[in-house]
Chain A
Amino acid sequence: MKKPQFDISIAKDGSVKIKVSGVSGQECVRLTDMLAQMIGREDSRSLTSEYLGGGGDVRINSTVDAHIREG
């Protein structure tokens, strides 16, 4: 099995992109949350087909997600 790892890209404008891989679904979410808290505000999150075990990607827009949670 692939070793758990983060691939982090910090762009020259300061924006940060993080890919967490090699860990199970809930653990993957937990690690992503931890990294997001280290840096600042989360703009978007995508669960890849690898995460879902096949099929297309799912993208969660934090603004839309917030509206859904607020009901």
Chain B
Amino acid sequence: MSTVCVLTPIVVGSWPMIANAVAGAAASMGFSVLSSNVATPEGVSDATLHERVVVDVPNSDVVKEAMDGGQEMVIARDGVTLRFGIDERGRCTVCASGKGLSKRRLTEIAEAVSGRVVQQFAYHKLMAELKQRRFTVVQEHVAGDESIQLRVVIDR
């Protein structure tokens, strides 16, 4: 007997949980983490960059009790800089900037990385919950379409 369910993750957590997901997304997409929890990292100046776009990380809500202001994480690759932060609504946002790239291209990059942040968040959340319930992950791999595949056995 089986059921198939499709879900949209809700990214609710403290800033360290979000930052952990950003770091995982950066690593999986070849971005370098330039800095975290600083206003302006060394060597990065928005004044030298031509275009800039801001997009939301979908369905995100950073727990306000865990915020102490100014929390930010910056990643970069091939001249593109992505700055993750929290807006006044408590949502996680990403500001993409880079020389010689159109706003459309920057939006595509920001949305792709945001998706990967959600993927990493869902992965870490699931693994923690499954471990807490003593379920056993017997298979884990990244497929050709870059999806994360898990098989979990329920020992009763």
Contacts and interface: CB of A to CB of B under 8 A. Distances in A.
Interface string B4-16: 1111111000000
Q: By CB atoms of chain B within 10 A, which of A4, A12, A13 has the most?
A: A12
Given A6-B154, A10-B123, A21-B1, A42 B7 contact: yes
A13 B115 CA distance: 4
A5 B154 contact: yes
B39 interface: no
Interface size class of A (residues with CB under 8 A): 35 or more
Nearest to B114: A14
Contact of B9 (A6, A14, A25, A44): A14
A50 B1 CA distance: 5
A53 B150 CA distance: 26
A43 to B, nearest CB: 5
B10 A39 contact: yes
Given A14-B58, A14-B122, A28-B2, A39 B7 contact: yes
B104 interface: no
Interface string A16-31: 1111111111001101
Interface in B76-123: 112, 115-119, 121-123
Interface in B99-156: 112, 115-119, 121-123, 125-126, 129, 135, 143, 145-154, 156
B1 A25 contact: yes
A23 to B, nearest CB: 6
B40 interface: no
B7 A36 contact: yes
Contacts of B135: 6
B32 interface: no
B146 A12 contact: yes
Interface of B: 1-10, 58-59, 112, 115-119, 121-123, 125-126, 129, 135, 143, 145-154, 156
7 contacts: A7-B149, A8-B150, A10-B148, A14-B9, A14-B121, A28-B2, A45-B3
